[in-house]
């Protein structure tokens, strides 16, 4: 274990990785990178490296879990054993079970589940490297995987965390800030519907600080939303170019 | 959960809430009656039973000795586990914990941990070698909705009720002595849950409302009135405005509930 840093933010308002309080980490998003999945996406946010794949709508397995009036969305968030400092057992931990649930619940409001009764859609998320804020990056990627699979959606879901380090409310905490900082507030958001679909918090925040953190996280979401849309477009530009070459 | 509410009933619930009323006669911001009993399990170091309307949760606390985590050698350990016991509801099944019971345990855990309710440094016996481990086991006995609030309240009440064994160190060995001391507590988080039905916020949803609601918001408030844990649940959403409105409702109710805790 590294020693805990004494200060997470210096006098000039610079964070350990040189960012300002309301600055995001560098983000790279790619869509449609797995050939076997119906939809897929890859995201890098800081040192986070996360893959998401969507399969379906397809027949439910086991069959008795299917619903007569809607599609069932299932979600598995999983961390690779080598994704963290100390090897993580590949068996699903309680944390992963909870995150799978909240991620599913954050994506569900975006999907027109009533369009495909009796079917299931599976979303698999693999965290290849973790650097804090993995649930948020995972949601951003998973929503793109669903869109890439052609599943009808109300909006893309985009997620970003805000939190408090030392005495400052900051955006998009990385690993050390998350562990040593005072609070972490992950938020998932659908910009077109102004809907918060995931909200969690741990730490200690006064009500005003919490209000500020939620606003900051939503602003961060809006910025990532543009990158999300750009990544989708890039993929379809490629498809279009390939079609033209063939013709 | 797989239990069903008929469409007529759903409509009824929605129409009533539109008028600010509810099926069980409460207003939208009324909490159900609460009863707290402490120390009913003599074998446990601490215990409490909470009745929230017809919802019933029993929490037992066991204190044992063990090794600390390597990254916190001077601190005792606290773990929370929740059992949705099959006798509590026709929808609960025996078997390993499912995502609902894991989520419940983790919400209760987060409230206690993040508010630093237990003074874990005082649970250290020998740094890096021996500490007290506090096992908080949530046992749901009857499910009539809002297990989160009932469990969180029962857990904190049980911790307040917890007595730790006295000990001596003889030749590096921990010897348990006669007598007990109170578990050192620094804070007392209160968790309050809201549901959203038809875009209206309601406090303390009971079973049928839980099956109808779009989304859920649980917030844990500490002694200072600060927020220490939040969990949004269910497959719906909240607007930013609703979150802030909900937070204010929750803070008022948490202040009321706090008066029922005795420490």
CATH code of B17-258, in short, is: 3.30.230.70
Q: How confident is the model at residue B6 (pLDDT cuts 50, 70, 90)?
A: confident
Q: Does residue A83 register a pLDDT over 80?
A: yes
State the average pLDDT over residues A117-125: 97
Who among A102, A198, A203 is closest to B228 (CB)?
A: A203
State the smallest CA–CA distance between residue B188 and chain A in angstroms. 13
**Which residue do the tokens 């096992």 mark?**
B135
Cβ contacts of A210 on chain B, cutoff 8 Å: 227, 247
Residue B63 and residue B231: Cα distance in Å, rounded? Answer: 28
Residue B131 and residue B121: Cα distance in Å, rounded? Answer: 9
**Which residue do the tokens 């209000």 mark?**
A211
State the average pLDDT over residues B124-151: 96
Residue A233 and residue A229: Cα distance in Å, rounded? Answer: 6
Cβ contacts of B222 on chain A, cutoff 8 Å: 204
Inter-chain CB proximity A195 and B239 less than 8 Å: yes
- A207-246 and B240-258 helices cross at what angle (nearest 10)? 150
Candidates B107, B138, B116; CA nearest to B229 is B107
Measured between CB atoms, does B84 come within 8 Å of chain A?
no
Residue B254 and residue B263: Cα distance in Å, rounded? Answer: 16
Residues sharing a CB contact under 8 Å with residue A174, sequence separation 6 or more, in sequence order: A16, A17, A25, A46, A47, A131, A132, A133
Cis peptide before A62 (omega within 30 of 0): yes
> Tokens representing B54?
């017809």
Cis peptide before A57 (omega within 30 of 0): yes
Candidates A222, A209, A42, A234; CA nearest to A141 is A42
Q: What is the CATH T-level fold of the domain A27-246, as seen in this structure?
A: Ribosomal Protein S5; domain 2 (3.30.230)
State the average pLDDT over residues B220-231: 97
State the average pLDDT over residues B165-170: 85
Domain extents in chain A: 27-246
Mutation site, A201, A208, A222, interface B, largest B CB count within 10 A: A201
Q: Residues A214-227: pLDDT tens digits? A: 999 999 999 999 99
User: In this structure, are residues A36 and A97 in contact, taking their beta carbons and an 8 Å threshold?
Assistant: no
**Cα dihedral across residues B177, B181, B186, B190: positive or negative:** positive
Q: Does residue B3 register a pLDDT over 80?
A: no
Q: How many CB atoms lie within 10 A of CB A167?
A: 9
Compute and round to an integer the Cα radius of gyration of chain B: 20
Candidates A169, A187, A146; CA nearest to A38 is A146
Cβ contacts of A77 on chain B, cutoff 8 Å: none
Candidates B20, B123, B142, B15; CA nearest to B73 is B123
The reported pLDDT for the residue numbered B1 is 43
Measured between CB atoms, does B193 come within 8 Å of chain A?
no
Q: Does residue B172 register a pLDDT over 80?
A: no
Q: Does residue A2 register a pLDDT over 60?
A: no
Measured between CB atoms, does B237 come within 8 Å of chain A?
yes
Cα Dmax for chain B? 71
Nearest Cα residue in chain B from A1: B71
* Dihedral in degrees, nearest 10, Cα atoms A61, A63, A68, A70: -10
DSSP string across chain B: ------HHHHHHHHHHHHTTB-TTS-BTTPPPPEEEEE---TTSSEEEEEEETTEEEEEEEEEEEEPPPTT-TTS-EEEEEEEE-GGG-TT--SSS--HHHHHHHHHHHHHHHHTT-B-GGGGEEETTTEEEEEEEEEEEEE-SS-HHHHHHHHHHHHHHT-EEEEEEEETTEEEEEEEEEEPPB----EEEEEEEETTEEEES--HHHHHH-SEEEEEEE-TTS-EEEEEEESS--B-HHHHHHHHHHHHHHHHHHHTT---
Beta strands across the sheet bearing A119-129 = A27-31, A39-45, A48-59, A119-129, A72-79
Q: Residues B57-91: pLDDT tens digits? A: 999 999 999 999 999 999 999 999 999 999 999 99
Measured between CB atoms, does B93 come within 8 Å of chain A?
no
Q: Is B248 left (phi over 0), alpha (psi -120 to 50) or beta?
A: alpha
Q: Does residue A3 register a pLDDT over 70?
A: no
Residue A146 and residue B242: Cα distance in Å, rounded? Answer: 27
The reported pLDDT for the residue numbered B171 is 77
State the average pLDDT over residues A79-84: 97
State the smallest CA–CA distance between residue A180 and chain B in angstroms. 12
State the average pLDDT over residues A179-192: 97
Who among A195, A197, A203 is closest to B114 (CB)?
A: A203
CA B157, chain centre distance (Å) = 10
Residue B230 and residue A172: Cα distance in Å, rounded? Answer: 18
DSSP A24: P
The reported pLDDT for the residue numbered A5 is 79
Residue B154 and residue B138: Cα distance in Å, rounded? Answer: 8
Q: How confident is the model at residue B2 (pLDDT cuts 50, 70, 90)?
A: very low
Q: Does residue A209 register a pLDDT over 60?
A: yes
Q: Does residue A1 register a pLDDT over 60?
A: no
State the average pLDDT over residues A119-131: 98
* Average pLDDT score over chain A: 95
Q: Residues B139-151: pLDDT tens digits? A: 999 999 999 999 9
Inter-chain CB proximity B237 and A109 less than 8 Å: yes
Dihedrals phi, psi of B89, to nearest 5 degrees: -165, 145
Q: How confident is the model at residue B176 (pLDDT cuts 50, 70, 90)?
A: confident
State the smallest CA–CA distance between residue B180 and chain A in angstroms. 31
Cβ contacts of B99 on chain A, cutoff 8 Å: 97-98, 100-101
């Amino acid at each position: 274990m590294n020693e805990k840093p004494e200060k997470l933010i210096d006098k000039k308002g610079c964070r350990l990785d040189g960012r300002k309080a309301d600055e995001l980490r560098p983000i790279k998003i790619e869509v449609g990178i797995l050939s076997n999945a119906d939809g897929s996406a890859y995201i890098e946010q800081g040192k986070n490296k996360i893959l998401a794949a969507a399969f379906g709508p397809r027949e439910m397995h086991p069959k008795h879990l299917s619903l007569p009036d809607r599609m069932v969305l299932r979600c598995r968030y999983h961390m690779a054993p080598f994704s963290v400092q100390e090897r993580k057992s590949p068996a699903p931990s309680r944390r992963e079970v909870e995150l799978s649930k909240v991620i599913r619940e954050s994506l569900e409001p975006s999907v027109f589940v009533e369009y495909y009764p009796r079917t299931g859609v599976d979303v698999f998320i693999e965290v290849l490297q973790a650097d804090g804020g993995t649930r948020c990056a995972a949601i951003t990627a998973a929503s793109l995987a669903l869109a890439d699979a052609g599943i009808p959606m109300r909006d893309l879901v985009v997620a970003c965390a805000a939190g408090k380090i030392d005495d400052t409310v900051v955006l998009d905490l990385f690993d050390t800030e998350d562990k040593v900082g005072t609070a972490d507030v992950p938020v998932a958001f659908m910009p077109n519907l102004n809907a918060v679909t995931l909200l969690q918090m741990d730490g200690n925040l006064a009500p005003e600080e919490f209000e500020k953190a939620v606003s900051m996280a939503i602003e961060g979401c809006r910025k990532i939303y543009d990158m999300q849309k750009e990544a989708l477009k890039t993929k379809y530009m490629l498809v279009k170019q390939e079609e033209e070459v063939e013709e | 959960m797989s239990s069903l509410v008929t469409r007529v009933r759903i409509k009824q619930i929605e129409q009533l809430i539109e008028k600010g009323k509810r099926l069980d006669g409460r207003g939208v911001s009324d909490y159900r009656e609460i009863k707290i009993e402490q120390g009913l399990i003599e074998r446990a170091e601490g215990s409490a039973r909470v009745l929230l309307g017809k919802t019933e949760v029993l929490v037992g606390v066991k204190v044992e000795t063990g090794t600390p985590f390597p990254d916190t050698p001077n601190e005792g350990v606290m773990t929370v586990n929740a059992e949705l016991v099959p006798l509590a509801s026709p929808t609960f099944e025996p078997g390993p914990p499912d995502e609902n019971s894991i989520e419940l345990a983790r919400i209760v855990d987060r409230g206690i941990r993040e508010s630093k309710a237990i003074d874990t440094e005082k649970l250290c016996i020998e740094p890096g070698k021996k500490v007290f481990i506090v096992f908080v086991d949530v046992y749901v006995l009857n499910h009539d909705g809002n297990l989160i609030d009932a469990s969180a309240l029962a857990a904190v009440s049980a911790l307040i009720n917890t007595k730790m064994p006295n000990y001596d160190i003889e030749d590096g060995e921990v010897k348990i002595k006669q007598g007990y001391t109170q578990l050192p507590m620094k804070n007392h988080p209160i968790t309050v849950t809201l549901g959203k039905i038809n875009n209206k916020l309601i406090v303390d949803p009971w079973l049928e409302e839980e099956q109808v609601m779009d989304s859920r918001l649980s917030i844990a408030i500490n002694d200072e009135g600060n927020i220490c844990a939040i969990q949004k649940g269910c497959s719906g959403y909240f607007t930013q405005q609703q979150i802030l409105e909900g937070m204010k409702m929750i803070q008022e109710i948490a202040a009321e509930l706090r008066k029922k805790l005795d420490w």
